[in-house]
Amino acid sequence: MRSRKTASSKHKRNGAQEASTTVDHIVNLSNEDGAEFGFSPVHPGTILPAILAGDNASISDQAGCTRPPDLGTSTDALSTFIYNPAILGSGVELLDNVTSPAIDEFHNSSFLSRSAILGDDFPELDHTHPDRQTHEFTISETDLKVLQIHAVFDLPRLAVRQRLLEAVVEFCWTWMPVLDLDATPSRSGSAVSPKATSILLLQTLMLVGSYMTGGQHTSTPLQSHYRRVKAIVDSGVERNPYKLLAAVCLIQWCAPSAPKDISMDTPRFWNMYAISLAQQMGLHRKVLHPGKNEGLRKRIWWTLYARDSLTASAHGRPRLINIADCTVERPSTSDFSNPTDPRAQIFVSWVSICEILHDICLWLSAQPDATLLQKQDLASRLLEYIQDLPPELGIINPDGSARAYDFQLAQLHVTILTAITILYRPSSIFNIAPLSSSAISITASNLNVKLFEAIELRDHTHCLSSAFTWNMLVSAIPQLSALCCVPALATQAGHALDTIEDVLQTFSRVRTSAVNNLANVRAIRKAVSVPRSSHPDMHNGKRGQDRPDAHTTLEADGPDSMPFKLFDLLKPYGVSAVKNYESNLEALRVQSSSSPTEQDAVVPQSDTQAQIGQGPEFGDWTIPDENLVPPAGTNIDDSTSDFQLLVGDDFQESGWMRDWVDDLQLFGLDV
């Protein structure tokens, strides 16, 4: 809630507007649709107050706003299909809000716990501040000039805003339900109700929407728009903690820096920012007296936890959140305004599988201290999760028939299949033992490749979050192992790797991490595509030679070592998935018993004419339409052989994926 501006601030701005007629820099602050909503429309030539202008020539250059203001037309006032209040407001109105004193909801509002020294004698002391008084915040002129430099109040037309908001809701909200975008007048008291327009939330929604639509609806470059949002955050103008937290969560869809760089512009950095803010707000604790925002609080916290688990898994870094410190209840569909919304079920399931995935990677990183008993426990948790998935979250119908393509379900199952692939991965690219584990890892990878292909064919790749570049890399590793060691599976693996490279190529246009992972896949693929006589024994990779105890402890997980049959993990994916597992297992058994002479054959290169039908199928998820096949062109040199790429953040120095790269030293390559 904004307090009324003082008479002096009114006079200051009015005087500045009178003096601004000599300023050349023009920024569009008008909302051509404002008349319909009761706002006072301003002529597009309105000039920013001189008090904000400073050196206007340099401001224009720094802002990078070279396009002319949106002039609008006589039909703009019709506002067709403009139905969400989150996008309303003109640049003039938002400037007025920003420059008016506002109630500072940060002041004296943090969560503090003193239970360690007071016990339970005064539980309310942790949650209340009896001396809390209203405190006002006013932005400084310096910060306001910075906002002007970044053209913060330059907004796209209402129709464009509506489209960008729809893209955020369609592609992002399922995985990041941090806004009550469906707030009705009866729920206008929500902590993040869109009824109260926030310049930070509005610009963040426009930024993320631009990412989801490939930047085709706005002329502002994504990098410039990102810096614009970052400037608003740094200015401290947003004094509602929930709105700031929601914006910082959404910024994570933008990844201007690659994980291999130390940077303050990565999704993980923004997630750390958000976690720190959320802990100050006490979102990790169960509140004594739940209020109307309890569902929103839980959704925000568990969003942060899931993304923390994903980035920790992908980067081989510690998880920022210690679950032992959290007393907040697990997420449930009742945390949503509509518990029957399929997106609510997907979110709850996604949080759980992200946690399991991180625990698997944590276990693998503990080698050689990891035990088979721990692996069995993780396998049991994973199987229980898969068996408990509601039928409506499956990618095939309960009767085994195919379901129509669903982008949200595809993303959920990519995460599930990634967990299976990692848990049962071969211990080395050149070591396919134990056969049953390698077979299920290859099958899970095949299923993921089909999902990536379906996503790519529908032009949805650019809408994925950065974590999917890691999922693609994980899916490539069993295929590289099959390409290297199992000639019977080489054609299938070659086609799968072609698909992964094509999807990574598309993804690299919007995600810098995809560029590095694409180079990684190509480098390893080139290394393993050499005469087999140069390969080490397929049953004795470098890890097994260095740590024989680990080899006997963890490699002995044959069919009898698990408390269930491995293919039980694949049953939700239909009969074709189980058959693919059995086919892969048979190929591995034949290769395992083959003579050394037969193993000395040359690994074939990828066969782009390989039958697409090989591997499991998902019905109409893969459309046999030549017009939908993505182009095979590449932007990165196919002859990349710089193996220094393989020791970046994607292959941790002490992490489990590093062991795969160590094997390349057996070729005498300098890694």
Say yes or no: 241 and 388 in one domain.
Answer: no
Closest residue by Cα to residue 141 from 204, 26, 48, 244: 48
> How many structural domains is the chain composed of?
2
Using one digit for the tens of pLDDT, what is the confidence trace for 353-363?
999 999 999 98
User: CB neighbours (10 Å) of residue 37?
Assistant: 16
Asked if residue 645 is part of any domain, the answer here is yes
- Position 180 scores a pLDDT of 86
Asked if residue 36 is part of any domain, the answer here is yes
Asked if residue 591 is part of any domain, the answer here is yes
- Position 462 scores a pLDDT of 94
Using one digit for the tens of pLDDT, what is the confidence trace for 199-245?
999 999 999 999 999 888 888 899 999 999 999 999 999 999 999 99
Choose the final residue of a domain: 254, 288, 316. 254
Name the pLDDT band for 435 (thresholds 50, 70, 90): confident
Output the six-digit token pair for 472: 């693609």
Name the pLDDT band for 97 (thresholds 50, 70, 90): confident
Asked if residue 359 is part of any domain, the answer here is no
Asked if residue 347 is part of any domain, the answer here is no
- Position 391 scores a pLDDT of 93
Give the CA-trace dihedral at 572, 578, 580, 584, to 10 degrees.
120
Higher pLDDT, 669 or 591: 591
Choose the final residue of a domain: 254, 284, 304. 254
Least reliable range by pLDDT among 103-107, 431-435, 499-503:
431-435
Using one digit for the tens of pLDDT, what is the confidence trace for 632-665?
433 333 333 333 444 344 443 334 455 544 544 4
Q: Which three-class secondary structure string do you get for 170-206?
A: HHCCCCCCCCCCCCCHHHCCCCCCCCCCCHHHHHHHH
Using one digit for the tens of pLDDT, what is the confidence trace for 379-424?
999 999 999 999 999 999 988 888 999 999 999 999 999 999 999 9
Output the six-digit token pair for 121: 């004698």
What is the average pLDDT across 545-570? 54
DSSP state of 136: E
Q: Could you tell me if 176 and 212 are in contact, meaning their C-beta atoms sit under 8 angstroms apart?
A: no
Q: Write out the DSSP string of 541-588.
A: -HHHHH-HHHHHHHTT--TTTSSS-GGGGGGGG-HHHHHHHHHHHHHH
Rounded to 5°, angle at Cα 148 from 70 and 54: 115
The string over 554-576, giving b where at least 16 C-beta atoms fall within 10 Å of a residue's C-beta and e elsewhere, is bbebeeeebeeebbebbebbbeb
Using one digit for the tens of pLDDT, what is the confidence trace for 63-81?
333 333 343 333 445 556 7
Asked if residue 439 is part of any domain, the answer here is yes
Using one digit for the tens of pLDDT, what is the confidence trace for 132-161?
677 889 999 999 999 999 999 999 998 899
Across all residues in the chain, what is the average pLDDT? 75
- Position 597 scores a pLDDT of 41
Name the pLDDT band for 352 (thresholds 50, 70, 90): very high
Given a cut of 60, whether residue 373 has pLDDT beyond it is yes
Using one digit for the tens of pLDDT, what is the confidence trace for 236-294?
999 999 999 999 999 999 988 888 889 999 999 999 999 999 999 999 999 888 888 89
**Cα separation of 52 and 54, whole Å?**
6
Choose the final residue of a domain: 205, 236, 254. 254
- Position 6 scores a pLDDT of 44
**Cα separation of 449 and 453, whole Å?**
6
Asked if residue 243 is part of any domain, the answer here is yes
pTM of the model: 0.77
Domain span holding position 217: 7-101+138-254
**Cα separation of 331 and 587, whole Å?**
43
Closest residue by Cα to residue 213 from 163, 169, 272: 163
Say yes or no: 246 and 394 in one domain.
Answer: no
Given a cut of 50, whether residue 595 has pLDDT beyond it is no
- Position 659 scores a pLDDT of 52
What is the average pLDDT across 601-606? 40
Asked if residue 636 is part of any domain, the answer here is yes
